[in-house]
Amino acid sequence: MQVVCEGRETPNVPTVSDLWDIANIYEREVYDFYGIIFTGHPDMRRIYMREDWVGYPFRKDDETEKNNPLRMTNEPLADTTDTYTLSPDGTLTKEQRNIFGEEDYVVNIGPQHPSTHGVLHFRVCLQGEVIKKIDPILGYIHRGVELPSPTASTISARCRTATRSACVSKRPWALR
C-alpha cells in the first residue's frame, strides 16, 4: 500500500488499524520515527522512543543531538493516549483518553527478557485473575550484559550494567 501525505508540518493519513489489528503497532512505529499522524487511530503514542523524545529521528530535518541530550533519568510512562480526527475543513483535532480508569487494578510486569532481542514491560489491568487490558511498553535497549564474561576477574558492578551502559562490563555478551 502506498499513500501520499500532504503538508510537512502535520502529515496525516487515515488509519487502517480498524481493518487490520497488526496495523496498530506499525502505524505507531511510523508515527514514532517519521511523525506521520494516522487519523482515527486509537493510540497515537510513541512506541519505541522515549515519551519525552523531541522530534522524529528518521526525518532528514531532525536535529537529534540538539533536541535530545543524554538523559540519565527514568523514562516517563504516559497514562493517556492521543487520538486525532480530521474535520471536514482540514484541521486536526487531538483528543486524550486515559489508558486505565481510576478503579482499575494495574500491575506492572517487567521489564524482563523473555528470550527476545529486547526487554518487554507490560502494564496489566486485572479483574480478579482475568486480564481486562494490557499496555505493552516496547523499545527498551538490549545492552547485551546478560552473561558475564568468563575472563572477568570481578563482578562488582554486574548487577547495574543492565540499566546503565554496556561499556561498564569488560566483555558484554549478547544472546541471539
| pLDDT tens sequence across 37-89 | 999 999 999 888 888 888 888 888 888 888 888 877 777 788 899 999 988 88
Mean pLDDT of the chain: 77
In which band, very low, low, confident or very high, does the pLDDT at 116 lie, cut at 50, 70 and 90? low
- 69-89 per-residue burial string, b: 16 or more CB within 10 A, e: under 16: eeeeeeeeeeeebbbbebeee
